[in-house]
């Protein structure tokens, strides 16, 4: 049985919208909420040298976003990014796994493909291994 992640339905729309606005490159951002429930996505600028194949959030932007979370009394729950429309799957790449520095974080990967069976997938990435998590979308 997969461990479950709980998220508000509006976050689903926010992530898909962000990915579909930039289908040819990776988008990224931070997931936040309270009591383990993801209630908000905070989009970030992808500053990676090759944003078509990678994502990176600038350290200054992470600090700014964390300040915004504190101000709103939200907890940092995870990170999301997309894989461009030409990739077949939205699962962690070897590079995604290697760069997963926050072992307690939820890592969501979004595909902008309009007919994807699972356009958003969530993973726990620890010790170089990714484990898929079930996503429960709540009103």
DSSP string, the chain: -PPEEEEEHHHHHHHHHHHHHSTTS--EEEEEEETTEEEEEEEE-B--SSTTT---B-HHHHHHHHHHHHHTT-EEEEEEEE--TTSS--S--HHHHHT---TTSEEEEE---TT-SSSEEEEEEETTEEEEEEEEEE-
Check pLDDT > 80 for residue 83.
yes
Counting the structural domains of the chain, the total is 1
Per residue in 37-74, pLDDT (tens digit) is 999 999 999 999 999 999 999 999 999 999 999 999 99
Average of per-residue pLDDT across 4-17: 96
User: What is the domain range of residue 107?
Assistant: 4-138
pLDDT of the residue at 89: 82
Q: pLDDT category, 1, cuts 50, 70, 90?
A: low
CATH assignment at residue 67:
3.40.140.10
pLDDT of residue 102: 93
As a whole number, mean pLDDT of residues 112-123 equals: 92
């Amino acid at each position: 049985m997969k461990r479950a992640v709980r998220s508000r339905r509006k976050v689903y729309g926010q992530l898909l919208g962000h990915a579909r606005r930039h289908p040819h490159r990776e988008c990224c951002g931070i997931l936040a909420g309270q009591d383990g429930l993801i209630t908000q996505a905070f989009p970030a600028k992808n500053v990676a040298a090759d944003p078509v194949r990678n994502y990176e959030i600038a350290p200054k932007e992470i600090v700014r976003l964390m300040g915004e979370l504190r101000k709103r009394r939200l907890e940092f729950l995870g990170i999301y990014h997309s894989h461009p429309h030409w990739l077949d799957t939205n699962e962690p790449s070897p590079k995604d796994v290697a760069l997963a520095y926050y072992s307690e974080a939820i890592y969501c990967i979004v595909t902008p493909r309009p007919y994807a069976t699972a356009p958003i997938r969530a993973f726990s990435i620890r010790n170089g291994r990714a484990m898929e998590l079930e996503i429960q979308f709540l009103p």
